[in-house]
Amino acid sequence: MKFSDIIGQQSLKQQLIHTIKEGRVSHAQLFLGPEGSGKLPLAIAYAQYLNCKSPSEDDSCGICSSCQKYNKLIHPDLHFSFPIVNKGNDAEKNICAVHMKDFREAFLADPYMSYNDWMQAHGAENKQGNISKFECYDIISKLGLAPFEAGFKVLIMWLPEHLRDAGNVLLKIIEEPPQNTLFILVAERQEMLLSTISSRTQLVKVPRLQIDDLAAHLESQFELDAKAAHSVAMLSEGNARLAREMLGHEVSINEQLFMDFMRLTFTGKGSDILTWIEKTNELGREGQKNLLQYGLHILRECFLMRFGSAKLLRLKGAELDFVTKFSPFITEQNVSEFNRIFNEGIYYIERNANARLVFHNLANESERLLASAKKVATANA
């Protein structure tokens, strides 16, 4: 994540870069700001700049080996802690590292995600997340190891409000961290933090987004006119997460299920598709029909984009991303086949066929069609 990927916050970005240039990087910092202000992406951009091999005056390069790993949140010296739902008493299972794949996906899909967004992505249902003693011990052991690569070892703890008293085992490592270690807490509510911990950190206040900055972002991202963008920015009080929700561009259930379906059948992950089928089975017949109709619509858009009709598309956000990525694989050869199998799916669902079987067949067919499209794409590459 580069600074330039983050909405507004110009003077804070400058201030953060300044501390790095001056060599005044405090080893334990608290990024404190309201929801939707961008404090988590800012913490990541800051750590990325610190580790970048050829940073410019005002941003990381985005392409060096360190930046490339930071972009995907897979750098071996970048660690995250965040609230999770603990199950049982097994230390191995109740640490954030186990949930890193889900966290990465959720963050990369929306760097402004809220605690509730994450809990939903994490499948928490109604349970509360926390950062447990298991995680705290894991942090101590991770940070105790020498860095894998040159530069700073970084631990970003998102929402330390969910750290219980167990957090006190971290006091020593926060106060006397191993050399070249950076500990960033990213919090929303100072009054809920363990005072023993927050008193040992340097405070970095992340303000609400300025209305003009958020409005400019909404204008370009959602193709709004200036006046509409300004009023949404005002109504959301500078909260980027809320503004997007107001614009109705949260990923809908159909969007999510269909994209998952295409990705799973593209990669051929047989076991994951069974989980997907179970989720889809719970939608009921009307929901299942809607999902298939939606899929037909997006497949048509993929096909249109392939032929340069992108301007005709009325897509935004996650849908546009998806269509852009998938359009190379929706070809003249397979588009009518896709049309047929999705329409057959609708036909059978309407006639009360077993939904699990219908979606199972659909997955097999889709996998077959995508596999041959992949072959063609590779041969042409």
Indicate whether 67 belongs to the interface with Zn ion (CB under 5 A).
yes
Among 1, 7, 16, 52, binds Zn ion (CB under 5 A): 52
Pairwise CA distance, residues 307 & 313, whole Å = 12
Are the C-beta atoms of 159 and 4 separated by less than 8 Å?
Answer: no
Read off φ and ψ for residue 156, nearest 5 degrees.
Answer: -105, 120
- Residue 20 Cβ vs Zn ion, minimum distance, rounded to whole Å: 13
| Region near Zn ion per CB under 5 A, out of 64-72, 160-168, 203-211, 258-266 | 64-72
Indicate whether 239 belongs to the interface with Zn ion (CB under 5 A).
no
- 255-266 burial, b for 16+ CB within 10 Å, e for fewer? bebbbbbbbbbb
Indicate whether 320 belongs to the interface with Zn ion (CB under 5 A).
no
- Residue 48 Cβ vs Zn ion, minimum distance, rounded to whole Å: 7
Helix, strand, coil share (%) of the chain residues, nearest 5: 60, 10, 35
Among residues 52 and 273, whose Cβ is nearest to Zn ion? 52
Indicate whether 44 belongs to the interface with Zn ion (CB under 5 A).
no
Among 29, 60, 130, 239, binds Zn ion (CB under 5 A): 60
Among residues 52 and 157, whose Cβ is nearest to Zn ion? 52
Which amino acid is located at 337 in the chain? Answer: E
**What are 365's two structure tokens?**
């067919």
Among residues 75 and 200, whose Cβ is nearest to Zn ion? 75
Pairwise CA distance, residues 42 & 7, whole Å = 10
Pairwise CA distance, residues 18 & 262, whole Å = 44
| Region near Zn ion per CB under 5 A, out of 44-52, 96-104, 213-221, 368-376 | 44-52
Among residues 61 and 97, whose Cβ is nearest to Zn ion? 61
Indicate whether 173 belongs to the interface with Zn ion (CB under 5 A).
no
Pairwise CA distance, residues 50 & 2, whole Å = 11
| Region near Zn ion per CB under 5 A, out of 53-61, 104-112, 265-273, 330-338 | 53-61
Pairwise CA distance, residues 58 & 11, whole Å = 11
- Residue 45 Cβ vs Zn ion, minimum distance, rounded to whole Å: 11
Residue keyed to tokens 């091999």? 53
Site for Zn ion, rule CB under 5 A: 52, 60-61, 64, 67
